[in-house]
Amino acid sequence: MRRIVIVGAGLAGHRAAEALRREGYGGRVLVVGDELHRPYDRPPLSKQLLAGAIEQHDTLYASDDLEVDWMLGEPATSLDIERRVIRLASGVALPYDGLVIATGRRARDWPRLPELDGFHRLRGLDDVRSLRQAVRPTSRVAIVGAGFIGCEVAATLRGLGVEEVTLIDVAPHPMPVLGAEVGQRAAAFHQAHGVRLRLGTSVAMFEGSGRVEAVLLEDGERIAADLVLLALGSAPNTEWLADSGLTLVKGTVLCDEYCVAVGTEDVVAAGDVASYPHPSAVGPICVEHWSNARDMGEIAARNLLREPDQREVMAAVPTFWSDQYDVKIKSAGVLSLADTFTVVEEDPERPSLVVEAHRDGALVGAIVFNRNRTIIQYQRQLAEALLV
């Protein structure tokens, strides 16, 4: 291969570029990104960067020594896998010998959002800058969506002294993917820090004249708000692949266990834009965690260079972490597979917590509060089980 194109300048794309050079690939590497920024670390966006503890330059990955050609602010609009050509919004056509798809995901939109000022999302650096400039201690903030981003932003804003922060979600507890045991405890520590929770209800409409003024819930409650963060999850950035001939599953690129896009030999996908057959799951799964993007970007790039019989399977144990107040939440495993969550250890004073996730009696994951060594042990246990 003389020319490899990486579409997506996030973590997975950056790790893919690093892996190509480590493997000794000496051909041309082009990295296409829809943002103007070089690759940067996203987990701090809702925490340290929003809080002002670090600045934008602190999130950037070191990339000057990669010897790649950057094409930033250039969204991809189509892919022709027969001719091996990517077309960009500017009209530029990029031929390739090998392709890494790492376009990631974007914040999910609210359908028919009214044209009012005061709405925010948090997915990229520009979103954080906008939110930081808008929020004040006197702001009345409503966060629609009590997933990881919503909860982290709520904790950060309370740490900044914002007095009125309300978390709204249709789920009965925050971060529902972690199960009721963790969610109930998360609800308790958010309430203890002054966050108002409106759970088990949905938004009926937004009110305002020129600017959002309130959120009206389905149960009739009206929550005054001059700033609304929409934290509704994410959607894959794969519209540009609609007519490519690649197989898409729930909008993600379907890959084999080697990260190779099904039906191709010269296209791989990595990160939370890809679905693949994890050995723990039945059928392909998409894992939207930082660790998965890191691992998959590297493995996909290496496999792109290798002969089919030399490729390595993508079988890493997914891990995740979230910082909220004085609680560091960490998980390992594929929690979406679990049918039961069981508390096996707890110290409310510390606070610390250990919860195991099982499916049909078998361990598929674990979640901890402030127990770093414990989650590492679970991660090793889950990894060993994959080798059996």
Q: What is the CATH number of the domain that holds 369?
A: 3.30.390.30
In this prediction, residue 65 has a pLDDT band, given cuts at 50, 70 and 90, of confident
Q: Is residue 112 part of a domain?
A: no
The structural domain count of the chain equals 3
Percent of the chain with pLDDT over 70: 99
Q: Is residue 28 part of a domain?
A: yes
Residue 143, pLDDT score: 98
pLDDT at 70 (0 to 100): 96
Please give the residue that has the higher pLDDT: either 282 or 284.
284
Mark whether 123 and 223 lie in a shared domain.
yes
pLDDT at residue 339, rounded to an integer: 94
- 35 and 91 both lie in a single domain: yes
Of 230, 247, 262, which residue sits at a domain end? 230
Cis previous bond, 351, omega within 30:
yes
pLDDT-derived band at 243, boundaries 50, 70, 90: very high
**End of a domain among 243, 277, 310?**
310
pLDDT at residue 269 is higher than 70? yes
- Average pLDDT (233-239) is 96
Going by pLDDT thresholds of 50, 70 and 90, the confidence category of residue 385 is: confident
Q: What is the pLDDT of residue 172?
A: 96
Here the CATH number for the domain that contains residue 151 is: 3.50.50.60
Which residue range(s) make up the domain with 52?
3-107+234-310
CA 76 to chain centre: 20
Residues 156 and 291 reside in one and the same domain:
no
Q: Is the pLDDT of residue 388 over 80?
A: no
Closest CA to 375 of 295, 294, 316, 321: 321
What is the three-state SS of 234-280? Answer: EEECCHHHCCCCCCEECCEEEECCCCEECCCCCEEECCCCEEECCCC
Q: Is residue 299 domain-shared with residue 332, that is, in the same domain?
A: no
Indicate if the pLDDT at residue 387 is higher than 80: no
Residues 183 and 274 in one domain: no
Query: Which tens digits make up the pLDDT trace of 115-162?
Result: 999 999 999 999 999 999 999 999 999 999 999 999 999 999 999 999
Does residue 321 belong to any structural domain of this protein? no
**Cross-strand pairs, 356:** 342, 366
Q: Is there a single domain that holds both residue 48 and residue 87?
A: yes
- Mean pLDDT in residue range 302-327: 95
pTM equals 0.95
Residues linked to residue 229 through DSSP beta bridges, in sequence order: 120, 143
Q: What is the pLDDT of residues 158-195, one digit of tens each?
A: 999 999 999 999 999 999 999 999 999 999 999 999 99
Same domain, 127 and 103: no
SS3 per residue for the chain: CCEEEEECCCHHHHHHHHHHHHCCCCCEEEEEECCCCCCECCHHHHCHHHHCCCCHHHHECCCHHHCCEEEECCCEEEEECCCCEEEECCCCEEECCEEEECCCEEECCCCCCCCCECEECCCCHHHHHHHHHHCCCCCEEEEECCCHHHHHHHHHHHHCCCCEEEEEECCCCCCHHHCHHHHHHHHHHHHHCCCEEEECCCEEEEEECCEEEEEEECCCCEEECCEEEECCCEEECCHHHCCCCCCEECCEEEECCCCEECCCCCEEECCCCEEECCCCCCCCECCCCHHHHHHHHHHHHHHHHCCHHHCCCCCCCCEEEEEECCEEEEEEECHHHCCEEEEEEEECCCCEEEEEEEECCEEEEEEEECCHHHHHHHHHHHHHHHHC
* Whether the predicted pLDDT of 15 surpasses 80: yes
Residue 350 has pLDDT above 70, yes or no: yes
Mean of per-residue pLDDT scores for the chain: 95
The Cα diameter of the chain in Å comes to 63
Q: State residue 239's pLDDT score.
A: 97
Query: In the prediction, which pLDDT does 171 show?
Result: 97
What does the pLDDT read at residue 190?
98
Same domain, 101 and 42: yes
Same domain, 134 and 103: no
Determine the straight-line distance between the first and last CA of the chain, rounded to whole angstroms.
36
